[in-house]
Structure 1
Amino acid sequence: MHKAAKKAKAAAPAASGKSQLVAALLCFFLGGLSIHRFYLGYTGLAILQIVLNIFIIGFIWVLIDLIRILTGSLQPKNGTYEKTL
């Protein structure tokens, strides 16, 4: 195998077993509870988001998360989506 191919293969993040569609649906329907963040592995941010949601500030964050999930810029913490939209 060529060096460039090995380097590209090593640089690619491993699939996490998470579905982008599931993440988007969780964000859309249960975003106020930050379930999508727990699903993606961001426990600390999920707790912070819940606290902010109590003060109504977090809705903007949830909306941004939904857009980021749909565009693919918010990936699971430990890799990439197993299934994408």
Structure 2
Amino acid sequence: MRGQVLGVDRVSGDGQIAGDDGRRYRFRPEDWGDKTGPSVGAQVDFETSETRALSIYRVPATTPVTLHEAPQQPSRQRSPRNKVAAALLAFFVGVFGVHRFYLGRTGSGIAMLVLTCTFFGLVVTGLWAFIDFIRYLVMPEDEFDARYNRS
């Protein structure tokens, strides 16, 4: 049967092949019959045993996609985060960690939210939010983008 390699675990070497019959077959490194080994996108010829691919050989004259060249999933488009918006959130509702959630820093946002439950924690998060407010305003735009608007 013929098919295409869907994925390969880099550590174990286990992977999956989509057969031309529409089914998926699992394989292990010892199931490969050629020296090249598996790579994502490679066209292969193999024998089957239930859901297992055996005696796998690469089909000649096909160019496989190496793991670092594998087609990537389309990324979710999201609007870039704005440093002025983050600064204003830090100034007005920063004690609750809202600006941290806005910037994708969920862990520290939760920490600020929990700390706010006590008087001492309220003082700490108030100071923390004010420092973040100042820091966002003085931070260069390219540094802000590098930290908070990564794809």
Range class of TM-score, shorter chain: 0.5 to 0.7
Unaligned runs of 5+ in 1: 1-15, 80-85
1:41–1:78 Cα contact (<8 Å) kept: no
Say which structure is richer in strand.
2
Q: Does 1:48 align with 2:111?
A: yes
Matched residue SS, 1:21: helix
Query: Aligned residues: percent identity?
Result: 41
Q: Does 1:63 align with 2:130?
A: yes
Which position in structure 1 is the counterpart of 2:95?
Answer: 32
Compute the TM-score of the two structures, normalised by the length of structure 1: 0.63
Aligned residues: 64
Distance 1:32 1:26, change over 3 A: same
Higher RCO (Cα < 8 Å, 6 or more apart): 1
Distance in 2, matches of 1:36 and 1:24, equals 7
| Displaced runs of 4 or more, over 4 A | none
Say which structure is richer in helix.
1
C-alpha RMSD over aligned residues: 2.1
Unaligned runs of 5+ in 2: 1-78
Based on CA coordinates, which of the two structures has the bigger radius of gyration?
Answer: 2
